[in-house]
Structure formats: C-alpha cells, structure tokens
Structure 1
Amino acid sequence: MDYPESYELVFQAPAVEDDVVIVRRTERAGAGGYPVYEDESGIVRAEISDRGEVRMQASGGHQMLKTPLLARPLTP
C-alpha cells in the first residue's frame, strides 16, 4: 500500500488558531504495522493508519501526548 509522504497534524490550541505540525514518513512501522511519521525535530511522532487514525508515540520521557483533531495528508 502507498502511504502519503507527509501529513499535517492539527492540534487544538488554547490560542485563536489551532496548532499545525507537519510530519514526514520514516522507515519505521508502529505497533499496528503502519508507518511512523515525525516532525523535523523528531519530537512529534505518530503512527498513522491507512484510514487516517493517529496513534501518538512518545519520543522522550515525561511527554504529555495529545491526540490531534485531524490528520490531513499533504500532496507533493
């Protein structure tokens, strides 16, 4: 199956606008067998299924993971 190269993860932010993070596909797969995506810093990491379901993954200790409101595939 072909998976998108990147997604926008949209998180609800306390400010006026939502927080948007762009993540790119890595070579890794998550526990569900789907690709793991991460942002440029490697801090935001998520497994995204073929149906757009998101499972956030901790990239370090003491992270408080929030599930995004939306995972929007980006087209090249």
Structure 2
Amino acid sequence: MDHKVHTERYELIFQLSGAADDVVRVRLTDRLGAGGFPVYEDETGIVRAEISDRGEVRMLASGGHQVPGTPLLARLLNEDAPRTP
C-alpha cells in the first residue's frame, strides 16, 4: 500500500430537511476502512467515515442499530485558515 500523507481533518456536511445543514468535524485516526482508506471520526467517536484520496465518503456505523446518513460533501479543513463559529 502507498504511504501517502492524508489530510488531518475534514468537515462532513449533511443536509437536514427543512433546516440548516449539519456540519460535523472529523479527524484522522490510525485505522483503515474496508476499502483501504483512512478512517476519520468526530471527537465523540460516534461519527465515523472512511474517506478516499478522491474525497469519496463511506460512513461507518460505530454502534449497534446505527444507520449513518450520507454526507452531501466532505470538505478539507485547512489547519491555517480562520475558524468560523
């Protein structure tokens, strides 16, 4: 397998019906998903996603009976950019 440097953080944007989009920030973990790409998770460990080098996202269940939704977008987070509230 290639030893590529992977992006440290992403924002996963989920569309909610009738409301503003839900944004979840995820960080790189030391695990790989079934597709061989890195697994990212939020600070709680509940939201988990395998993100390919092309930005394709596969959501991963973190517990029983969980049916994770699919995000509209995985946006790279630039660590040097100012944060928006």
TM-score between the two structures when normalised by the length of structure 1: 0.95
Larger Rg: 2
Comparing both structures, which one devotes a greater share of its residues to strand?
1
Cα distance in 1, alignment partners of residues 18 and 61 from structure 2: 24
Higher relative contact order (CA 8 A, sep 6+): 1
For structure 2, list consecutive stretches of 5 or more residues without a partner in the other structure. 80-85
After the TM superposition, list the runs of 4 or more consecutive aligned residues in structure 1 that deviate by more than 6 angstroms. none
Q: Which amino acid aligns with 1:27?
A: D
Alignment pair present for 1:55 and 2:63: no
SS of the residue aligned with 1:52?
Answer: coil
| 3-state DSSP of counterpart to 1:8 | strand
Structure 1: distance between partners of 2:14 and 2:5? 25
C-alpha separation in 1, matches of 2:74 and 2:5: 16
What amino acid does structure 1 have at the position aligned with 2:16? A
- Counterpart of 1:20 (choices 1, 5, 23) is 23
Aligned Cα root-mean-square deviation (Å): 0.8
What TM-score, normalized to structure 2? 0.86
Count of matched residue pairs: 76
Per-residue CA distance 1:24-49 (angstroms, 9 max, x = gap): 00000001111000000000000000
CA distance in 2, matches of 1:48, 1:67: 12
